[in-house]
Amino acid sequence: MRVYGFAGQGSQVHGMGRDLFDQFPDETRIADDILGYSIRSLCLDEADDRLDQTAYTQPAMFVVGALTYLARRRDDAIDPDFLIGHSLGEYVALFAAGVFDYPTGVRLVQRRGALMNAAAPGAMAAVIGCASAAVDAMLREGGVTSVDIANLNAEQQTVLAGPREDIDRLKPLVESRGATFARLNVNAPFHSRYMVSVAEEFAAFLAGVDLHPPRIPVIANVTGQPYRKDQVRDTLARQIAHPVNWLDSIRYLIREGPFTFVELGPGHVLTRLVQQIRARYGFH
C-alpha cells in the first residue's frame, strides 16, 4: 500500500520549487495570474521575507506541493492508495484526489491564507516528550483555560495554540515536567477556538466553490478517517478551527495494512512523524 503525504505551513523554505517552475510553466503562470504576484520570486528570492507570512506561505506551499505531485505522476502514473496532508497540506491531497482543479485550489488557499493572516494574534508551541493526555492535564492543573490543543502530531508531540502571553507562561511548566517546549514560527493560534469566526467566513466562501467526491481516499485532519463523499465541504470548513489529528490518521493507515509513506514537497517533517508513530506500534 502506498500513501502520498503533503506538509503544511512551517515546512516552507526559500528555494523550494526551484526545479519545478520551469517544468510547469502553465501552472506557474496560472498561479501568478490568480495571486497577483510571482510565485517563483516569492519562493526563490531570499531577500523576500513574505514567504513566512501566512497570506503568502499557504499559496506557496500549495503550488509547490501540487507541482511536486504533478512531477511525481508524470514519472509514475499509478494512483496511491491513500492521500494525506497536514493542515494546509490537506489541500494538496484534495487537489490530487480530484476534489477541485488546480486554479480552484490556488484560489482556496489564497482566501484561506488571507483570512487566517487577519485572525486575532496569538501563538503556537510544540510540547515534545509528553503524551497528549499529560499535556491536557498540565493545562487543567495550571489553570490555563485559554490554551487549546491544536495538533496531535505523535504519541509524544502535541502542539498548543492560544494567546501569546499564555503560551509563553507554559514554558517553565512544560520544562518542569521534563518535556521540551518549542515556539512555532506563526503569528496566530491556528486550529483552535480562536479560528471559529475564520472557519465560518471560509465556509461561506466554500459555498460558492465546485467540489467533487475524492477519487482517491483522503484522510481528513478533523476525523482521522477518510473524507466522506457527502461531507467534503463541511469537513474542509471545520478543519481551520479543529485540531489536526495526525496521530489518529496514521493509526488508521496502520490498521489498513503495511504501507510505504512518500512525502511530496519541501522537508521531511511528516516522514519523521510517521516513523515515530509506526515505531510505537512495532513497525519500521
φ/ψ of 150, rounded to 5, equals: -105, -35
Domain spans in the chain, listed from the N-terminal domain onward: 2-119+192-280, 123-183
The residue whose grid cell reads 479543529 is: 242
Domains 2-119+192-280 and 123-183 share a fold: no
| Residue 6, SS3 per DSSP | strand
Q: What pLDDT is recorded for position 179? A: 95
Digit-by-digit pLDDT tens for the chain (284 residues) are 999 999 999 899 999 999 999 999 999 999 999 999 999 999 999 878 899 999 999 999 999 999 999 999 999 999 999 999 999 999 999 999 999 999 999 999 999 999 999 988 999 999 999 999 999 998 988 889 999 999 999 999 999 999 999 999 999 999 999 999 999 988 899 999 999 999 999 999 999 999 999 999 999 999 999 999 999 999 999 999 999 999 999 999 999 999 999 999 998 999 999 999 999 876 65
* Architecture (CATH level 2) of domain 2-119+192-280: 3-Layer(aba) Sandwich (3.40)
**CATH number among 3.20.20.70, 3.30.70.250, 1.10.760.10, 3.40.50.720, domain 123-183:** 3.30.70.250
pTM above 0.75, yes or no: yes
Bridge partners (DSSP) of residue 3 are 82, 261
**Active-site residue set:** 87, 191
User: Are 149 and 124 spatial neighbours (Cβ–Cβ below 8 Å)?
Assistant: no
